[in-house]
A and B are shown apart, each in its own frame.
Chain A
Amino acid sequence: MNAKKLMSGLMAALMVMFFTVTVQASAKKELMMATTTSTDNTGLLDYLVPHFEKETGITLKWTSTGTGKALKLGQNCDVDVLLVHAPPAEKNYIEKGFGKDRREVMYNDFVIIGPKSDPAGVKGKSISDALAAVKTKAALFMSRGDDSGTNKKEKLLWKNAGIALPDMEKWYVQTGQGMLATITVAQERNGYTMTDRGTYIKYQDQQGGNAPLTVLVEGDEILLNQYSVLTLDPKNCAKAKYDLAREFSNWMASESAQKKIAEFRLLGQKLFIPNAK
C-alpha cells in the first residue's frame, strides 16, 4: 500500500467534502453585511430585515463585530455592505478608496448613565462639565476600550472637554467588550458609563423596566450618534455585490423602512430616529 497515494487520495476527498457542503446556490440574491454589536443587540435588524427580504427578494446575512473589525471586513472584501456609526472613520474610509457611498439612515444619541445616587454629581451638567466632575471625584467610569464607534465617540468627548484620556487611571475601567457587557460591569460596580440610548433602552428592557443605572447627562449636540449605510467601492472589491448593496441602501432610506425604524420600540420608547434625506 503506497502511503503517498493514500495521502493524496485523502487530500482529494477532504477538498471534495468541504466544497460540496459549500456549493449551495450562490445564484440566488444574497447580501453579506457587517454591522456593529450595539446595532445588532438592540434587535432592530431582526425586526427590519424580514421586511427587506420580502420586499426585495434579497437574502441579507449579517455578522456583528466591533466597528474596527467591520471596517476591516469591508476592506478585505469579505462583506458587501456596512451599517456602522462612526462618521469620521466612514468619511476617511471613502477617502482611502474602500467605501463608495455613504447614506445616513437613522440616529440616536449617546447618554451618560450612572447610579441613581450620582456620587460625582453629574446630573444635568453639560457633557464637558460632567466628565470634569467624574475626574475630580475620581468616580468609577467604565469605558468599552475597544476602539468601536461608541468608544471613538467617548474618546472624542474627553478630548472635547480638554481632559487627557484617563487611560492609566484606577477609576477608568476599560472592559474591552460590547456595550451591554460594559453596562453590566458598570451596574456591578456602581459606576458611570457612556452608552447609546438604543442600547440603554434594551438594557432597561432586560431589567424589566427597573434598572439601577439611570440617564444622568443628555442633550448636548456632540452626543449625536449617526448611523449610516456604507457601500464598498467596486474598484477595491470587484466581487462586492455593489448593486444589491445600493438596493439595501435605497431601501433603508425608503419611506416604508424609515417608518418602520420609527415604529421600533422597546418599553414604549423609540430606539432610533430615522433621518434619511
Chain B
Amino acid sequence: MEFLASGFLKAIELLIRGDASTWSAVSATLQASTWSMLISLVFGLPCGFALGYFDFRFKRQVRTLVDTLLALPTVCVGLLVYAFISSRGPLGEFELLFTLSGIAMGQTILAFPIVTAITASIIENIDEDLKLTLVSLGAGKRNIILTCLWEVRFGILAAAVTAYGRVLTEVGISMMVGGNIKYHTRTITTAIALETNKGMFADGIALGIVLMAIAFGVNISLSFLRKR
C-alpha cells in the first residue's frame, strides 16, 4: 500500500524537478496523441456524418462493423501496424517502425472508429426541425452539412474527448510500434509499463499521476468550448 503514497509524492517530485526522461515521455505522449487525435477527427467527422445522414444499402451492417471496431484491442492494432511498417512490410521503406509517427498511425486507427461512431449517432439524432429550418432558410447541400456539424459541435467535442482519452492511455500500440526507446518513443504509458514490470511500483504510480495531470490539463482547456 505504501507505494501509493510514495508514488504520489514522487509524481510531484518528477514534475517539479523537471526530470528529463519524464518530460521526454510527456512530450512523446502529447505529440503522438495530439497528431492521432487531429487526423482521426479529419477523417472520422465526414465518415461519421455520411454514416449518420445518408441512407444506403448496407448501412446497418456498416454501422455494426464500426461499433465493433470500438472494441479493438490495442495490442492487435499494434501488431497490425507492425506488419505494415516493418522492414519487410509493404510500407517498410518509410521507416516508420520505432518512431512516434508509427505510434500516431496506430493510434489514429484506434481513434477513428470512436469519432465515426459517435458522430454518426449524433447526426442520426439531430432534431428534424434543424433540417426543416435550414431548408427553409435556403441552405444548399454544402451549407446543410457544415451547419449541421456546427450545430452539433458540443456532441462532437465529447467524441473528441472520448477518443483522446482512449489514445492517451493506450499501451499496446505504443509498445509494439514504438519500441519504448528512451528519449525517443518512450511514452508515459510505456514508461509506466516498464517501471511496474521492473517492480518499481511507486514510479509507476507517479507516472500515472503525471498522465492524469496531462489529461486534466487538456480537458480544462477544452471545457471553455463547452456551452456555458
A residues adjacent to B (C-beta < 8 A): 1, 3, 6-7, 10, 13-14, 17-19, 21-22, 26, 32, 37, 41, 46, 61-65, 76-78, 177-178, 180-181, 183-184, 203, 206, 237, 239
Contact = CB atoms under 8 A, between A and B. Distances in A.
B88 A61 contact: no
Interface string B160-186: 000000000000000000011110100
Contacts of B198: 41, 178, 180-181, 206
B43 A19 contact: no
A21 B101 contact: yes
Contact of A17 (B39, B98, B99, B179): B39
B180 A64 contact: yes
Interface in B85-124: 86-88, 94-101, 104-105
A19 B94 contact: yes
B96 A22 contact: yes
Nearest to A15: B94
A46 B94 CA distance: 28
Interface of B: 35, 39, 42-43, 46, 50, 86-88, 94-101, 104-105, 141-142, 179-182, 184, 196-200
A14 B101 contact: no
Contacts of B142: 1
Contacts of B50: 3
A18 B197 CA distance: 31
A78 B97 CA distance: 7
The 9 closest A-B pairs by CB, nearest first: A63-B179, A77-B87, A184-B199, A180-B198, A22-B101, A21-B101, A180-B199, A181-B197, A76-B88
A61 to B, nearest CB: 5
B101 A63 contact: no
B181 A239 contact: no
A203 B199 CA distance: 8
Given A21-B35, A181-B197, A32 B98 contact: yes
Contacts of B182: 46
Which of B100, B101, B142, B184 has the most CB atoms of chain A within a 10 A radius of its CB? B101
B197 A1 contact: no
A76 B179 CA distance: 15
Contacts of B86: 76-78
6 contacts: A14-B42, A21-B104, A62-B181, A78-B86, A181-B197, A206-B199
B199 A10 contact: no
A46 B198 CA distance: 15
Contacts of B104: 18, 21
A244 to B, nearest CB: 15
Given A7-B46, A18-B104, 14 more contacts: A3-B50, A14-B43, A19-B101, A21-B99, A22-B101, A37-B197, A41-B198, A46-B182, A61-B98, A63-B98, A78-B87, A78-B97, A183-B199, A203-B199
B42 A10 contact: yes
A6 B142 CA distance: 13
Contact of A10 (B43, B101, B141, B200): B43
Contacts of A178: 197-198
Contact of A6 (B46, B97, B199): B46
A6 B145 CA distance: 14
B178 to A, nearest CB: 8
B35 A17 contact: yes
B17 to A, nearest CB: 18
B175 to A, nearest CB: 9
A1 B200 contact: no
Given A1-B141, A37-B197, A237 B87 contact: yes
A22 B180 contact: no
Contacts of A181: 196-199
